[in-house]
Amino acid sequence: MIGGFITLIVLIYVVRLFGLQIGDDKYKESADSNAFFRRVIYPTRGLVYDRNDRLVVFNKPAYDVMLIPKDVKDFDTTMLCSALGITREQLDERWKDMRDTRKNPGYSAYTPQKLISHLSQEDYGKLQEKLYLLPGFFIQKRTVREYTYPAGANVLGNIREVSAKDMENDRYYRRGDYTGDLGIEKSYEKALRGIKGMEILMKDAYGRIKGKYENGVHDVAPLSGHNLKLSLDMELQAYGERLMQGKIGAIVAIEPETGEILALVTAPNYDPSLLVGRQRGRNYSQLVLDPLKPLYDRSIQAAYPPGSTFKPTQGLIFLQEGVVNLNTVYPCHRGYVNGLRVGCHAHGSPIPLLPALQTSCNAYFCWGFKNMMDKPGTKTADQFEKWKSYMVEMGYGYPLGIDLPHESRGFIPNNEFYSRSFRGANWTANSVISISIGQGEVLATPLQIANLGATIANRGWYVTPHVVKEISDSTIDSKYREKHKPHIKKEYYEDIAQGMRMAVTGGTCRTANLPDIEVCGKTGTAQNPHGKDHSVFMGFAPYHNPKIAIAVYVENAGFGATYGVPIGSLMIEKYLKGEISSSRKHIEERMLNSNTIMSSGVKKH
């Protein structure tokens, strides 16, 4: 018993000594902090260029007030507050947050902690002169973002101070570090941030820096972040944002052959420089409270009824399934009449597929959908699932996979959805006929609508849309080079492209008919149960060897030809020619100066 008791005591001492010497860093930190000062050297964050090598995002110096708590002695708080331009209450609050391990995990009195961030040059100068009166304090130089254009905030994103969750998820971060927030700053954070360096300095018994430890042999140099080259044309992006001033909605422009996004506009938007510096918190709060939601990226997050821009997908499915051919005609007596009525506007009747696209005939696509669902020898549920699989192949119903955070999936219903909606009762094509013309339960993002335009432009394939073209000393994800091919014959895409060309030369898209550019397009007037209809346009140009595919969505703006088509045609002309012709300046002026928010019922405080 005595031997066992002695053995137990020895084991307790061994475990405790192991914990103190190996498992617990507190005493090591204490000893090291008396002799060494480890200064983090922050890497230069990667720069951002547009597709034409214009510098878009760069860095400027910023200064943070740092301290090592155990080295801080009595100091003149009034003098410090005056130099920093803050109150004593604000200083006390920051000090409290710094020591709160819930807000600052891993807090240690022996390691550098951040007290104040983003000092201005003027405040930095004031404090530098008095730093000798503040034992334990020092200035940490770092960089913050600066922007060449007051545009593209939804794509560029911003950087913010890391949260407790960020530090918990990634040990790279410590309190006071910055991380990407929204846009490419978030999705390409690891490429942009680089790798921190470390400088080890020696201290004397009074805590004064005496020079580098062993002449800097143990220092680690930082590695700068990778530069990004965007697929965006920032001049086109800025032009699109000007066209969308006073409006709610989005523009998405894609280079069909590569899937590279040329412009990704959301409206309303904001100047990205608002979220830089010490006023970031206040500006962010104002943006969050704005009823028009400028932080909400409608180009990839908003799910809208696509309206008649959906009709090309139906034509493709009907052709592939043999439901129609180019000579198949359906009646339209101001709409579809078959136990219910879906209205339409005046045009010839009966009408074949291509003129139906040209005039945006509702009845044609309702009849085609009904005949596909009611095909003899098949079940409606099976036919509907086949219909849905085509839609998913064309990029609807799921996120496309753009290299930006928070992309919406839109919505394409399935058989189970309608079985639940009709509570198990039998449902027919007539029960859901509105989805054939892009209404009802169908929802799509502007990105998905533009991607359809790119697929038709390519005559049957698309590359996943993306906003980053190149990463310096690295490669972009291979998925942004792969072709996706719906199981629909190329010849049918050619037919649909012809119908869209007819819509521009003599149909609903005549405003997009440019004298020296063959534009193909499709209007949409999406019904809105909450107010005025939405104005939509989807198209591409030129007809042969296309260079741009585009979708424009303007909320509460009426017919597609009123806003969607003019804005889309201006974007196409601007990209392909570099300027707007004098004969179309009046259209440009009308779009630049129009305001649909005031008539939409949405009020801005």
Enter the tokens of residue 397.
């119903």
Residue 409: the pLDDT is: 96
DSSP E strands in 527-583: the ranges are 534-541, 548-554
Query: pLDDT per residue over 332-349, tens digit each?
Result: 988 887 778 888 888 888
Other C-beta atoms closer than 10 Å to the C-beta of 69 total 17
Q: How far is CA 595 from CA 79, 242, 268, 293, 599, in A?
A: 51, 12, 12, 17, 8
Query: pLDDT per residue over 383-399, tens digit each?
Result: 999 999 999 999 999 99
Better pLDDT: 407 or 422: 407
436 pLDDT higher than 50: yes
55 pLDDT higher than 70: yes
Sequence-separated (6 or more) residues with CB below 8 Å from residue 486? 316, 390, 393, 394, 455, 460, 461
How would you class 369 by CB atoms within 10 Å of its CB: exposed for 0-12, middle for 13-18, buried for 19 or more? buried
Place of tokens 């608002």: 274
How would you class 488 by CB atoms within 10 Å of its CB: exposed for 0-12, middle for 13-18, buried for 19 or more? buried
Residue 24: the pLDDT is: 58
Domains and CATH numbers, the chain: 53-140 (3.30.1390), 234-593 (3.40.710.10)
For residues 181-187, average pLDDT: 95
Enter the tokens of residue 377.
């020898």
Residue 604: the pLDDT is: 43
Res. 71 pLDDT band, cuts 50 70 90: confident
Residue 213 three-state SS: helix
The Cα 200–Cα 204 span in angstroms is: 14
Residue 34: the pLDDT is: 59
Residue 341 three-state SS: strand
For residues 242-270, average pLDDT: 97
Query: What integer best gives the mean pLDDT of the chain?
Result: 90
Res. 99 pLDDT band, cuts 50 70 90: confident
212 pLDDT higher than 80: no
Residue 33: the pLDDT is: 55
Q: How far is CA 190 from CA 187, 196, 412, 509, in A?
A: 8, 12, 34, 44
496 pLDDT higher than 90: yes
Residue 352: the pLDDT is: 97
Percent of the chain with pLDDT over 70: 95
Find the helix or strand (DSSP H, E) in which 592 lies. Answer: helix 585-593
3-state secondary structure 154-182: HHHCEEEECCHHHHHHCCCCCCCCEEEEC
Query: pLDDT per residue over 82-96, tens digit each?
Result: 888 888 998 888 888
Residue 74: the pLDDT is: 85
3-state secondary structure 394-423: CCCCCCCCCCCCCCCCCECCCHHHHHHHCC
Instruction: Tell me the one-letter amino acid at 549.
Output: A
For residues 581-598, average pLDDT: 94
Better pLDDT: 368 or 116: 368
Residue 603: the pLDDT is: 46
Residue 32: the pLDDT is: 56
Query: pLDDT per residue over 519-564, tens digit each?
Result: 999 999 988 877 789 999 999 999 999 999 999 999 999 999 999 9
For residues 203-213, average pLDDT: 67
605 pLDDT higher than 50: no
Q: Which of 33-42, 187-196, 242-251, 426-435 has the lowest mean pLDDT?
A: 33-42
Contact predicate 112/66, CB 8 Å: yes
pTM of the full structure: 0.88
Query: pLDDT per residue over 262-298, tens digit each?
Result: 999 999 999 999 998 878 889 999 999 999 999 999 9
Residue 109: the pLDDT is: 82
Enter the tokens of residue 196.
């921190």
122 pLDDT higher than 90: no
The Cα 156–Cα 243 span in angstroms is: 20
Res. 176 pLDDT band, cuts 50 70 90: confident
For residues 206-212, average pLDDT: 66
100 pLDDT higher than 60: yes
Sequence-separated (6 or more) residues with CB below 8 Å from residue 580? 570, 573, 574, 588
Query: What backbone torsions phi and psi does residue 81 show, to the nearest 5 degrees?
Result: -65, -40
For residues 485-497, average pLDDT: 97
Sequence-separated (6 or more) residues with CB below 8 Å from residue 207? 71, 135, 136
Using alpha carbons, select from 566, 573, 567 the residue that is nearest to residue 517.
Answer: 573
422 pLDDT higher than 90: no
For residues 71-77, average pLDDT: 86
123 pLDDT higher than 90: no
Query: pLDDT per residue over 463-484, tens digit each?
Result: 999 999 999 988 889 999 999 9
**Among positive and negative, which fits the CA dihedral 558, 150, 575, 448?**
negative
